[in-house]
Amino acid sequence: MKVLITGATGQLGRALITTAPPEAELVPVSAEQCDLTDSDAISRMVGDVEPGLIINAAAYTAVDQAESDEETARRVNADAVAALVAAHSGKLVHVSTDFVFGGDSSRAYRPDDTRSPLSVYGRTKAAGEDHLRDTDLLVRTSWLYAAGGMNFVRTMLRLMTEKDEVRVVADQIGAPTWAAGLAKTIWGLVNAEATGTFHHSDTGVASWYDFAVAIQEEARAIGLLGKSVPIIPVSTQDYPTAARRPAFSLLDSSKTRTLLDDGHTHWRMNLWHMLRAEKELG
């Protein structure tokens, strides 16, 4: 089957390529190859490729920048999804975010829970979800990271090298997700011919502070960091940002795990794998 992958040079796009089943004929497309703010360009691309399946791994993910650039965020996160749906009669796999939720739940968010996004990023991603058909597949994830990408893990590694201390928010709760694990789940759902909405994040719960502490501990253990620095927990109020973020955005992935019957991997184990891959990159 011919599979068109948008966002092919991003964290998830690269992971989808490296974990793809051998029978998949991949057509990876980067933002440079197709401008996702241009609906006509999207239509031409799909017409030229004629894929059996599209996996939309592209997104405008600059959460704070989106607050002052809503038009671009909406074009990429919502309008591009509409254009992909209009141009393609087959299944679209679309990846979304925990930021479509408001953060006021007392339990992990289930796929059918009511969305109430707090930011432009969250609202535009929710709008993109609304363009999907019943025959499409929506996969929400959280706190995505991969070796070599632009993400929290690599930012922490840089700051822990440059700074004498690092201050990290401790009252936003969710779960990190290794891109390779998400990619394997997406291919598993495709193989299972799943439709509708599913969640995937690594098992376990963390604050950003917890995640930062683990990053330093694991990186020091393998020699990726040469020193340890104090990590100071702070509140969201003490660390203001342009975009509001949900205080609690843990995703309930039990539906996904039950369908795929593939067990659970704790986020710290996947962090271990990622940091070793990061060390190999030099």
Q: Residue type for 73, please?
A: A
Residue 282 has pLDDT above 80, yes or no: no
Residue 31 has pLDDT above 90, yes or no: no
pLDDT digits (tens, 9 = 90+) for 139-181: 999 999 999 989 999 999 999 999 999 999 999 999 999 999 9
- Average pLDDT value for residue range 187-192: 97
Which helix (H) or strand (E) is 17 found in, with range? helix 11-18
pLDDT digits (tens, 9 = 90+) for 211-259: 999 999 999 999 999 999 999 999 999 999 999 999 999 999 999 999 9
Give me the pLDDT at residue 263, please: 75
Q: Which of 121, 145, 209, 239 is catalytic?
A: 121
Q: Is 145 in the active site? A: no
* CA dist., res. 56 & res. 175, Å (int): 22
Q: Residue type for 98, please?
A: D
Which residue ranges form the domains of the chain, and what is each CATH number? 2-281 (3.40.50.720)
* CA dist., res. 210 & res. 223, Å (int): 20
Residue 6 has pLDDT above 80, yes or no: yes
* CA dist., res. 116 & res. 131, Å (int): 17
pTM: 0.95
